A and B are shown apart, each in its own frame.
Chain A
């Protein structure tokens, strides 16, 4: 078309884009470390399934329509990327063709056909997106001019390309190709216009115009398309549409093995870390580069807040807002963060103490002038989170929200000592008596009196340790679960013992509220006890204990095979060690505990058990499985008052009531308390009984 103009556009467009990207990447490189380079195969699989396959967009029944819309636009873009290369080539050489995609190959024809149809589909999707934003207005969407602008640009890209081809079609086929334009015309596969119905259709708009006018239209559409595309490319990194560029790498770099970055085991004895305030996240520059990439990638789609138990019940935590505020703070401080990282790098080379101090002073001066917690993120926002992970499970671009919150809580508790003081009695209980209720540790095994349960101290040569947990030991309601579980294990002739007074809280609750010191104290004592007895296999009725014992104790040298009682009971049934009667006549439903489901992917075993004891089978709640709704007690919230908005457990209890269930099964002592309390509040506790899986199984033992 015009090599000079094309060169100019490309040089300017790509140079500005390159400059923006270099700055964005330098900022990421100045942030904290995160190791995400391993397991290439597993990462590629995530890339294919989650990113290319758009699993979390098309795979959610609740949102299949908008999910499909997005997926089609995305897939359309992938297809059109190749087309763009052809168009850039066209700018330099008329009739430019890519290898194997030219008119000599069927592949070339197939490509133009697919491209043509995809353009039509994308255009339709853009129209749908406009209607959705302007008329349907789903609650989670955050309508901004940026969203409309980008949709508009996508529309322009499609229309310009379709009209460009439509104009070519008219000139070539209806005006005898006055400019001798190149087009696919292979004797075997015919003219390209037999393959491009949408473009030909677009040509209809040009019918009746003179060849000259159509020629102008063609040239205008060509350059409009190129200029829009380069503008689009340069616009992307500036706002939420950066995800077009960062989503694929972000999904590829997703945490593997465990749902998100595990809470960092802090070296509390490290005096330098105390001086540098580098325990937990206290300043924006302490995010890891992956957390920075998460912020770049947040698309503000609002799926996170839509499933968030705190947002739904009117707490101040709005994750999309949370991300946005952090991103703004990050970008506002970008230059200083980069300078800071450079200064930090010079320290390592220089050993003189006074020099180091001087540099550190300079570094402190580069800290953000805003308090991360207080000015950027409000206290109430930070402490609202129940760490339920619903947000992470639905995020299409796999943003890890919870680890950030955990690290900020560590910073607040350790460095600023600014945690909710209402936690003190529970924390003190943990410190003194190893349980958040603060009940004398000597009463820990009282529940087992008369049940003929062995103590490890008396016989450590057993197959399994039954980890009772604080609730199962001290909470009257949960003690019944412990008793039921013992009944089941005894019926199956399982050789097990408990630690009795030697067991302490795993420290889960302390860790979730950022009290790393107390967590490490608990973990260290427990690991010592467990390792002394040579414990290998652990069964527990508490998903929080399960999660901590299984995933967090290895960080401190405690490696055990840990099973939740639902897994173990399911195994006992399958092995024929216990037989269950289908004796339950109630309408039974199941509430997935977050730390069992989303944290440990245990969804099937509880259902398998419940289906084998219920006559009518399990009736699922609307929010179940991966998208189950938190009871409100996770993340240390069990030990805090819920004073803002509606109570989370009430919201869940109402859902259960609406489902007309008469019995609700749970697999977590906290869920048991919360759901039962919710039922009491609704005056439904007699009609709808809340029971742990173990209790239901114990009643149904044949």
Chain B
């Protein structure tokens, strides 16, 4: 089985994002692998270990993704492709899906695993658009995968009402939830091996697409501006006898909040 896994580099959501002049302040920001994609990587590696598979990852855009891809190698991914092109600067899910489609068509993949969504935009579109472009059966929000035979897999999809068990014929595409696994932490041995591995970096031309094709595809959405979200002020805690507290609250509502 040949598996293609898509990964995206996102801002570390543990950090506080600062916005100035409608753009994110880059100073002090750090970028990490999207958590859902990390689970996709782990799922691929587990399939490789348990059922035998060839694993390839692809990342599109994001600048220098070397560290992230090496980290995935250290987790057990065998091949890495990175598509970088100035034409991708304003890419949205549909453009990403278009580029990924081209990557898919160059290989002979049986299964595509993507993260359900990305931590930066949270749009959750790329995987399912890609399935549409490829005409592949797609199950989203997968929380378990079982290989039935060379042609079929059985996946569990976590839905609002319960878990759906779906059998799929390969080739197919699934998007995974983070709850599917606990991604392994790359260890020294893997990291050392990963250093020696090549990453196939190519631009759109090398992929056989012209930048114009991409522009022609025109993004369906566009980021116009970033704005800092308003943080809620901390509440006020009152202590003491209920009667005193009531008086205090009434006073504050009347004089400070001026709602009474």
Contact = CB atoms under 8 A, between A and B. Distances in A.
Interface in B107-144: none
Contacts of B199: none
B185 A440 contact: no
B30 A432 contact: yes
A421 B42 CA distance: 14
A648 to B, nearest CB: 25
Contacts of B182: 421, 424
Contacts of B16: 440, 442-443
Nearest to B28: A442
Contacts of B30: 432, 441
Interface residues of A, number: 24
A479 to B, nearest CB: 15
Interface string A409-421: 0000111010001
Given A274-B192, A442-B28, A517-B191, A428 B185 contact: yes
Contacts of A424: 182-185
Contacts of A438: 14
Nearest to B38: A428
A501 B28 CA distance: 10
Nearest to A274: B189
Interface in A499-521: 501, 516-517
Main secondary structure of the interface of A (DSSP, over half): helix
A254 B257 CA distance: 71
A282 interface: no
Contact of A432 (B14, B183, B184, B187): B14
B260 interface: no
A414 B190 CA distance: 10
Nearest to B193: A274
Interface string A379-423: 000000000000000000000000000000000011101000100
B247 interface: no
The bracket for how many chain B residues form the interface is 10 to 19
Given A424-B184, A442-B15, A432 B32 contact: yes
Given A432-B30, A432-B32, A517-B191, A439 B14 contact: yes
B181 to A, nearest CB: 10
Contacts of B167: none
Contact of B12 (A274, A421, A432): A432
B188 interface: yes
- Greatest chain A CB density within 10 A among B183, B189, B191 is at B189
A427 B183 CA distance: 12
Contacts of A271: 192
Contacts of B191: 517
Interface in B21-44: 28, 30, 32
B68 to A, nearest CB: 12
Nearest to B13: A440
A417 B14 CA distance: 27
A417 B32 contact: no
A299 to B, nearest CB: 38
Nearest to B188: A517
B185 A433 contact: no
A201 B187 CA distance: 72
Contacts of A439: 14
Contacts of B192: 268-269, 271, 274
A560 to B, nearest CB: 26
Most buried by A among B15, B16, B184, B185: B185
Contacts of B15: 433, 440-442
Contact of B189 (A414, A440, A441): A414
Nearest to A439: B14
Contact of B14 (A274, A413, A433): A433
A73 to B, nearest CB: 50
B12 A417 contact: no
B28 A417 contact: no
Contacts of A431: 185
A424 B28 CA distance: 25
Interface in A434-448: 438-443
B187 A440 contact: no
B14 A517 contact: no
A269 B184 CA distance: 22
A413 B187 contact: yes
Contacts of A442: 15-16, 28
A421 B189 CA distance: 17
Nearest to B29: A442
Closest 7 CB pairs of A and B: A440-B14, A440-B15, A517-B188, A424-B185, A417-B187, A442-B15, A427-B185
19 contacts: A268-B192, A413-B187, A414-B188, A414-B189, A421-B182, A424-B182, A424-B183, A427-B185, A431-B185, A432-B30, A432-B32, A433-B14, A433-B15, A438-B14, A440-B16, A441-B14, A441-B15, A517-B188, A517-B191
Given A432-B12, A517-B191, 8 more contacts: A413-B187, A414-B188, A414-B189, A421-B184, A424-B185, A432-B14, A433-B12, A441-B14
